[in-house]
Amino acid sequence: MEKYYMAAMGGAEGFGNKSIAHLVKVFGSAKAAWSAPVDELINSGVRKNSIGAFITFRQGHPDAPEKLVGYCERQKIKLCCINDEDYPPILKEIDTPPMFFYYRGTLQPQAFRIGIVGSRHNTPYGQNVALELGEQLAAAGLTVVSGAARGIDSFAHRGALKAGRTVAVLGCGINYIFPRENKKLFEEIAERGVVLSEFPPNLKPNAGTFPTRNRIIAGLSKGVVVVEADFKSGALITSTYAGDYGRDVFAVPGQVYAKMSRGCNELIRDGATLIKGAKDILNEYNLATTDKAIDKPEPKITLEGAAAKVLEMIPFDRYITDEEIIDRLDDMNPSELPGIMLELEMKGCVEEDAGRYKRKVGG
């Protein structure tokens, strides 16, 4: 019952984790804090506005903890608090860990998790990378964490579900589906992973909930991968949290002129680890894997436009240079080639050796 008193305290607007943690420490438990006399609450050391909000909320909802128990049972929502055995230990390491969170699914407190985040306005390149990373990391036994938003987040979740587990951290209440088109995705994640939120179950998202959500993504993860991001992308907020928490920051490179790669390229310039695929992450943590999903030949990929023309010019039996490719395609702008080659390499169509390229069998 203690966790429900704690969660009920979180129902007071503006009464956050630091205030809850402080009252629990002062009074010895959330239940004691919920029942504490008004004068003791006022003198507890919590800021005046925050403690006032809590007192007002408690007066208006004296039976909130008991009602919350029934609500969670009816809605099949589970509640985890910071003192529970299944609370992920890694999440306690951050500056302001959530004192509790609501969830559906099965927690694995000791799981090895990698966050994958990126822009809502992804390109086809970003979509393919997110799907591939999600699937291959999950196949290797890692749990993929993301924010369940449109774009890169959703593709990372979908990729992970093909081979293993994923965790969706919501920027709204667990009973508020956002975006609406992800309803089925959330159901699938709850069946094979976890959907969680620290917000009241029916809270709608707002500008402040997403940065708050992002710190949990970083907090749950050993490292965070940014797949695509512009300069002001929320994914960069997640990477900043990751750096502040001592987590590893990885970034997928892109064309220097591509808007959705500007943030990633800047992260790499500033010290993030450049990755080209799941193997780079597994190698970073010395995680050996015998899972064939990492090494299996990719299904035949349909390419269009310049990428298809370039691939046709690359032989299977020897390496050729950029200059040779450009000579064979004299109608192509040379500045386009680096981006095309990176796309072909990420899709498993070619392999690179010291700036030379050879076509892969099956690519």
Residue 283 tokens, joined: 């190698």
Provide the pLDDT for residue 305: 81
Residue matched to tokens 């707002």: 206
In the chain, the amino acid numbered 118 is G
> What is the residue extent of each domain of the chain?
2-74, 113-284, 305-359
List the beta bridge partners of residue 273: 250
113-284 shares its CATH topology with 305-359 = no
* CB burial readout 107-134, b (16+ within 10 A) else e: beeebbbbbbbbbbebbebbbbbbbbbb
Among the listed residues 330, 334, 337, 276, the one whose alpha carbon sits nearest the alpha carbon of residue 311: 337
Where residue 271 falls (left for φ over 0; alpha for ψ -120 to 50; beta otherwise) is: left
Residues 6 or more apart from 93 whose CB is under 8 A from it? Answer: 219, 245, 246
Going from the first residue of the chain to its last (363 residues), give the mean pLDDT of each consecutive group of 10, the final group possibly shorter.
96 93 97 97 96 96 97 97 96 96 96 97 94 97 96 97 97 95 96 96 94 97 97 95 98 93 97 97 82 48 77 79 81 82 83 81 52
248-274 as b/e, with b when 16 or more CB fall inside 10 Å? bbbbbbbbeebebbbbbbebbeeebee
The strand pairing partners of 168, in sequence order, are 146, 195
Q: 3.40.50.2020, 1.10.10.10, 3.10.105.10, 3.40.50.2300: which CATH number matches 305-359? A: 1.10.10.10
What is the pLDDT at residue 342?
A: 82
- CATH architecture for the domain at 113-284: 3-Layer(aba) Sandwich (3.40)
* 159: its two tokens: 């990729």
Per-residue model confidence (pLDDT) at position 329: 77
pLDDT value, residue 210? 95
